[in-house]
């Protein structure tokens, strides 16, 4: 945690620093060999990371980019599996075809954390962030399914192309169904509780329960967790302000702890993966490492460019519906292929023997090559991606358009709040009319200022903005906040503002409500 804190303090990439620190620490005499337990990664670390990312994703943005995300999250892992499998089979005599494909499936899925963290820090366009985020949420499901099929063939259980397709179909459909069911039930339960602490506690359990339930019936735990996270993230607007504020803080802390743990753990695996290489020639290991790493990098570039431009070239509807994409932006996506701890977990999960009792062909070399790809892509892409983004001038221009959209929504929300205020002031509730009139006059003035402030924010500094309303008007103001919140959610659902804008304004309203609510 100290290393991650220092990296954040000086604006460095925490994943890269932690991997390097792990590589250094494992060389210190006396440091115990911390072999990675695949079950810990797949059942303890992966579900909450995926769930948190899904909660923070935009379902509407993912849906509108479903085609390119599908190419990245389904097509690319399968292409990488086939290409790496072919190269590994040709270079390593000990590999069977199935064992080589196991390696291909293991190194196929990019990491769910690194590229998005770097892209967000450097201000990548929102559409690129949506593509990278959608890919990272779903590609583990594709790769792990391909891994199961290839592993079954390698150990002698038997596997066919049709059987593999059926396995993938069951995993996808079953995972989606379980994720929706869990999301629906949890949403109903949390809606009845109205207890922020209990709601957050339930939220912490959801990813583990969902993953285990899906895996128990041979569905995809990854897809189930992602679907549940997207469903509950979309429904989070119905929760109370305290729950939203608490959930945000809790999941940011969980993400930081887990990400620090996994990237440090990657670096610490060096002794255990090197110790299994006895019997292999250094020349063959070096050439295999270079070939596999190069294949992983080249296949992504060779896949992303044609599947970005060919659909646009072939379909006038796609050209009309989707904005034109620069070559620089496409290259950034193709260069954001860092691998992570899921690949290492899958490698360590390979059984020691096949069904006949013989050793799994080249297991120790598969683990080592996976380690090379993980560390190699983290360092290669992680260190160069910021430079590539700046050099190609790929940056987002959503700030101004977001501000305009927010201002328009704020104007509409202010009118709804004013209408609600008029209803409340005219309500016969026994309060002295003069008191309500004075409160209403001040709140009307403040509401007008709030409506104007979003427009003024386009060209004025923070020092020019107005102050918060007095707590004396809390009852009326809380009702007005409710009216504003409803309008913002409707604007998001209508596609006039993005989920990122909605989260920003909801957080402002939630914080204001927290200062007013004394219950």
Q: Residues 51, 92: one domain?
A: yes
The pTM for the full model equals 0.77
Query: Does residue 265 have a pLDDT over 90?
Result: no
Q: Residues 282, 372: one domain?
A: yes
pLDDT confidence of residue 138:
85
pLDDT, one tens digit per residue, over 165-203 is 787 888 889 999 999 999 999 999 988 887 888 989 999
Query: Does residue 307 have a pLDDT over 80?
Result: yes
Q: Which of 356, 375, 396 is the last residue of a domain?
A: 396
Q: Residues 384, 406: one domain?
A: no
Q: Residues 152, 86: one domain?
A: yes
Whole-number Å distance between alpha carbons of 176 and 226 = 9
pLDDT confidence of residue 464:
47
Q: Residues 505, 362: one domain?
A: no
Query: Does residue 362 have a pLDDT over 60?
Result: yes
Q: Which of 396, 428, 443 is the last residue of a domain?
A: 396
Q: Which of 396, 416, 449 is the last residue of a domain?
A: 396
DSSP 177-222: HHHHHHHHHHHHHHHHH--HHHHHHHHHHHHHHHHHHHHHTTS-HH
| 256 neighbors 264 (Cβ within 8 angstroms) | no
Q: Residues 424, 380: one domain?
A: no
Q: Residues 142, 259: one domain?
A: yes
Q: Residues 363, 461: one domain?
A: no
Whole-number Å distance between alpha carbons of 110 and 136 = 7
pLDDT confidence of residue 459:
52
pLDDT confidence of residue 460:
47
pLDDT, one tens digit per residue, over 411-440 is 788 778 778 777 776 655 545 455 566 667
Whichever domain contains 313, its CATH number is 1.20.1530.20
Question: What domain range is 490 assigned to?
Answer: 399-516
| 496 neighbors 405 (Cβ within 8 angstroms) | yes
Number of domains in the chain: 2
What is the residue whose two structure tokens read 């379980």? 178
Query: Does residue 89 have a pLDDT over 80?
Result: yes
CA 309 to mean position of chain CA atoms: 25
Highest mean pLDDT among 105-119, 348-362, 385-399, 445-459: 348-362
SS3 31: coil
């Amino acid at each position: 945690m100290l290393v991650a804190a220092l990296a954040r303090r000086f604006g460095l990439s925490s994943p890269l620093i932690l991997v390097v620190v792990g590589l250094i620490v494992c060389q210190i005499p006396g440091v115990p060999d911390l072999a990675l337990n695949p079950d810990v990664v797949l059942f303890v670390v992966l579900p909450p990371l995926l769930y948190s990312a899904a909660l923070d994703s935009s379902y509407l943005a993912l849906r509108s980019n479903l085609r390119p995300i599908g190419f990245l999250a389904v097509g690319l892992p399968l292409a990488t599996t086939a290409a790496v499998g072919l190269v590994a089979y040709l270079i390593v005599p000990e590999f069977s075809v199935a064992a080589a494909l196991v390696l291909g499936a293991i190194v196929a899925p990019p990491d769910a954390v690194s590229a998005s963290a770097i892209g967000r820090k450097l201000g990548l366009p929102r559409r690129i962030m949506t593509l990278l985020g959608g890919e990272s949420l779903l590609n583990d499901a594709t790769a792990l399914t391909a891994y199961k099929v290839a592993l079954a063939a390698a150990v002698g259980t038997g596997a066919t192309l049709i059987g593999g397709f059926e396995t993938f179909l069951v995993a996808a459909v079953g995972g989606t169904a379980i994720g929706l069911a869990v999301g629906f039930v949890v949403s109903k339960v949390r809606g009845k509780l109205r207890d922020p602490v209990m709601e957050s506690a339930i939220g912490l359990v959801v990813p583990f329960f969902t993953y285990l339930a899906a895996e128990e019936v041979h569905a995809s735990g990854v897809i189930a967790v992602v679907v549940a996270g997207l469903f509950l993230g979309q429904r989070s607007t119905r929760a109370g302000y305290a729950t939203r504020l608490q959930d945000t803080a809790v999941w940011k802390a969980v993400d930081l702890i887990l990400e620090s743990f996994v990237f440090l753990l990657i670096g610490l695996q060096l002794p255990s993966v090197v110790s299994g290489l006895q019997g292999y020639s250094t020349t063959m290991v070096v050439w295999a490492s270079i070939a596999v790493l190069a294949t992983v990098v080249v296949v992504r570039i060779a896949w992303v460019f044609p599947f970005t431009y060919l659909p646009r070239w072939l379909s006038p509807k796609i050209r009309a519906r989707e904005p034109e994409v620069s070559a620089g932006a496409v290259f950034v996506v193709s260069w954001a292929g860092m691998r992570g701890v899921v690949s290492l977990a899958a490698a360590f999960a390979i059984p020691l023997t096949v069904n006949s009792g013989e050793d799994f062909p080249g297991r120790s070399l598969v683990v080592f090559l996976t380690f090379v790809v993980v560390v190699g892509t983290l360092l290669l892409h992680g260190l160069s991606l910021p430079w590539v983004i700046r050099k190609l001038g790929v940056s987002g221009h959503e700030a101004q358009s977001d501000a305009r959209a927010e201002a328009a929504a704020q104007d509409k929300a202010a009118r709804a709040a004013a209408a609600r205020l008029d209803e409340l002031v005219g309500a016969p509730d026994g309060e002295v009319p003069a008191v309500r009139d004075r409160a209403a006059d001040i709140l009307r003035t403040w509401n007008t200022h709030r409506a104007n402030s979003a427009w003024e924010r386009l060209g004025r500094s923070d020092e020019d903005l107005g102050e918060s309303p007095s707590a004396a008007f809390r009852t009326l103001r809380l009702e007005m906040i409710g009216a504003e919140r409803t309008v913002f959610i409707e604007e998001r659902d209508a596609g006039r503002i993005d989920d990122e804008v909605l989260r920003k304004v909801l957080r402002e309203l939630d914080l204001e409500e927290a200062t007013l609510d004394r219950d």
